[in-house]
Structure 1
Amino acid sequence: MTASRLLSLPAELSVIVPCYNEVSNVAPMVAALEGALEGRAWEVIFVDDNSPDGTASEVVRLARLDPRVRVLRRVGRRGLSSAVIEGILSSSAPWVAVMDGDLQHDESVLRTMLAELQGGAELVVASRHVDGGDSGGLAGRWRHMLSDTGIRAAQAVMPHPLSDPMSGFFAMRRDLFESLLPRLSGTGFKILLDLVMSAPRTVRIVEVPFVFRPRLAGESKLDVMVLIQFATMVLDKLAHGWLPTRFMAFALVGLMGVVVNVSVMNFAGACGLSFSWAQLAGTAAAILTNFLLNNRFTYHDRRLKGQKLWRGLAIFVAVCSLGAVANIGIARMMLDSAGHGHWDRSSAAGAVVGVVWNYAVSSTLVWR
């Protein structure tokens, strides 16, 4: 079939590429897909989270030359999983593939994945950990450790056996995606795990090998924050949606705040402060810690910067100070009933009240 005839046909495969600051990789990726999918009707949809490096503008430039290239630019929204969901929803092809925008995923594997889908598979995962696969392109021992830790944690709770549940390279039937859509959390960076843990056991999943290539341009997005968000998404799946991912993340940060609260309170007490003053010092330290961690982790997609950061901190401190009053009151009441030998227990009880209050405030006034 001629190239001009293929361009006039609707795409049988949509390749979804979530990206952020990948301007140098856009043109090479389009060229690589053209070579890998020669003779097939395909399209590529770059889902860009408003990259400051001009990634979206570069895609627009290429789209004017090739109708198979599209861009979905998201302003005010961040996150790989939600980007993939929106990208798939913007397509109409019967099969969809997801791959990173950094050229580390071998585009030639797409033909094998498409053949598996046409042969009856419903979800095809490109794995670095089956015969023929390799993860050598994952630079540094730290990133290898993060990836391996995530894989072991996922395999312990997954209903489907997968050698590489942390893979970001996979393809699936569109009708399967639409059936799973209401169950997806759409948070974090590991959309494959979200899909697999939402899929019935009857879904046919096939793994094919691929070699993870070294990154040539741009910066890796894999860090400890990805692993933490990955953990909260797993907890969300285990809770079957009864506890929202963001709430669990906030609660985790709140737990760290409790540790800070009690530690600072004990230190202040050892310095000779009364219980109430020591508890006030611990509460203040916990509020600041909670704000910074929530801004970096819980509300990563709404992260405050510059003047908004300071304004958000001021609102957080002002309103949470009301929660601190309840915190200290509850702690004082617990201390009076339990006796003066139970500072830790009393302080922790007061801090829990503060966490609940802080969550309500954060979701409505600070990170709106």
Structure 2
Amino acid sequence: MTLPPTPAPELSIPELSVIVPTFNERDNVGPLYDALVAALNGIAFEVVFVDDDSSDGTRDAIAAIAARDGRARLIHRIGRRGLATAVTEGLLSASAPYLAVIDADMQHDERVLPEMLAILRGGETDLVVGSRYAAGGSIGGWDARRARVSAVATRLARLISRADISDPMSGFFAITRPAFESAVRGLSGQGYKILLDICASTPRPLRTAEVAYDFRTRVAGESKLDTLIVWEYLLLLADKLFGHVVPARFLSFLFIGGLGVFVHMGALAIMMEAGYPPFVWAQSIAAGLAMIFNFFVNNTLTYRDRRLRGFGPVAKGLLSFIAACSIGAIANVGIANYLFADYRYMWWTAGLAGILVGAVWNYAATSIVTWRAK
């Protein structure tokens, strides 16, 4: 006897997809999810956690949430890191007509999400920003230094932002799907300020609104903000200002190469003043020292999203960096020695000429060999 097919269970189609990027937020994801459920009572929603391969059990905590509530799901990223790209992947995976982004650290006030959604439903707004600087909002317990840094960053953001909002640095916002899709192909993926990237990447200025909220103090976990965040922010600004001409990553590589020039020329000056070793050897040693310096600084700054970690990967990366740069280094030393020995150029002029020859080759080769995208 053939049994009739079992009807598929009726699924609730989400109206709102909430994207939560995570990295080592084990103790926050549970309380945050419960807070979202309470705040979004009566709204069909889903929560998409995007985890950058946390090592503290964050994914296990998310799995426990998903096991009891099908509105939660996880995207696990391996070999990729960065808040902006994590949010972008989460938004692209979402199915709802309205999209929201909120941090996992519970510093954003999830209780204003229904108001943000209601504004988008009205059809006159593309983007609603949770603002710390709108009337009624606050930056919470920030010290004077952090407040000054935020104020400067906000002013710089106006160089590239096409939206008239008081808090372009906010990480808390809601957006319509068409508005996000209009920007997504122009996103740089640099840094951690995805809202600013979206506002600078749309073909036309978005219709915006703001909802004030009080920025809360982190309770559990550690802040992901560090001094390198400033560098990532500057790369985002550079990408939006000059990226159509020169990639921001290449500008970073050149800048660090410029710092390497000081290392190179300093070492060369010391050896030339000492009169030992001969110039060709001094130039070779100086080039090697600059190469090592450039590798470690680029690994920290230029390729932070692909950063090599651990003794094995770092050692392998350094060797591949040296190997990839060997052609540039040979040209560097050969041209410098040719100008110094045959044409009697000043040692520092010959040294600079050698450095310039290898710059473009080094960037192209190492981006493919040493820090290739996974």
- TM-score by structure 1 length? 0.90
Q: Distance in 2 between matches of 1:333 and 1:163?
A: 58
Is the 1:146–1:227 contact (alpha carbons within 8 Å) kept by the matching residues of 2? Answer: no
Instruction: Check if 1:289 corresponds to 2:293.
Output: yes
Aligned to 2:354: 350
Deviation for aligned residue 1:40: 1.0
Aligned to 1:130: 134
Is the 2:183–2:203 contact (alpha carbons within 8 Å) kept by the matching residues of 1? Answer: no
Aligned to 2:33: 30
Q: For 1:77-114, what per-residue CA distance to the aligned partner results, in whole angstroms no more than 9, with x for missing partners?
A: 11111111110111110110111110011111212211
| SS, match of residue 358 in structure 1 | helix
- Residues 263 and 147 of structure 1, relative CA distance in 2, 3 Å threshold: farther
Residue 65 (structure 1) aligned to one of 41, 65, 68? 68
Deviation for aligned residue 1:277: 3.6
Aligned to 2:54: 51
Q: Which amino acid aligns with 2:14?
A: A
| SS, match of residue 125 in structure 1 | strand
| SS, match of residue 222 in structure 1 | coil
Aligned to 2:188: 185
- Residues 332 and 149 of structure 1, relative CA distance in 2, 3 Å threshold: farther
Deviation for aligned residue 1:229: 1.3
Q: Which amino acid aligns with 2:29?
A: V
Is the 2:164–2:208 contact (alpha carbons within 8 Å) kept by the matching residues of 1? Answer: no
Instruction: Check if 1:300 corresponds to 2:338.
Output: no
Aligned to 1:309: 314
Q: Distance in 2 between matches of 1:262 and 1:235?
A: 28
Q: Which amino acid aligns with 1:256?
A: L
The aligned runs of 1:323-338 (5 Å cut-off) are 323-333=328-338, 335=340
- Residues 62 and 292 of structure 1, relative CA distance in 2, 3 Å threshold: same
Is the 2:126–2:206 contact (alpha carbons within 8 Å) kept by the matching residues of 1? Answer: yes
- Residues 186 and 38 of structure 1, relative CA distance in 2, 3 Å threshold: same
Aligned to 2:251: 248
The aligned runs of 1:59-208 (5 Å cut-off) are 59-119=62-122, 120-138=124-142, 140=143, 143-208=146-211
Is the 1:143–1:222 contact (alpha carbons within 8 Å) kept by the matching residues of 2? Answer: no
- Residues 352 and 74 of structure 1, relative CA distance in 2, 3 Å threshold: same
Q: Which amino acid aligns with 2:21?
A: P
How much identity, in percent, do the aligned residues show?
46
Aligned to 1:276: 280
- Residues 340 and 163 of structure 1, relative CA distance in 2, 3 Å threshold: same
Instruction: Check if 1:266 corresponds to 2:296.
Output: no
Is the 1:258–1:352 contact (alpha carbons within 8 Å) kept by the matching residues of 2? Answer: no
Is the 2:107–2:218 contact (alpha carbons within 8 Å) kept by the matching residues of 1? Answer: yes
Aligned to 1:359: 363
- Residues 173 and 293 of structure 1, relative CA distance in 2, 3 Å threshold: same
Deviation for aligned residue 1:339: 5.5
- How many residues align? The count is 360
Q: For 1:188-236, what per-residue CA distance to the aligned partner results, in whole angstroms no more than 9, with x for missing partners?
A: 2111111011123442122222211111111111112111111112211
Q: Which runs of 5+ in 2 are unaligned?
A: 1-9
Is the 1:13–1:95 contact (alpha carbons within 8 Å) kept by the matching residues of 2? Answer: yes
| SS, match of residue 323 in structure 2 | helix
Is the 1:160–1:201 contact (alpha carbons within 8 Å) kept by the matching residues of 2? Answer: no
Q: For 1:302-336, what per-residue CA distance to the aligned partner results, in whole angstroms no more than 9, with x for missing partners?
A: 22122111111122223323321211233345557
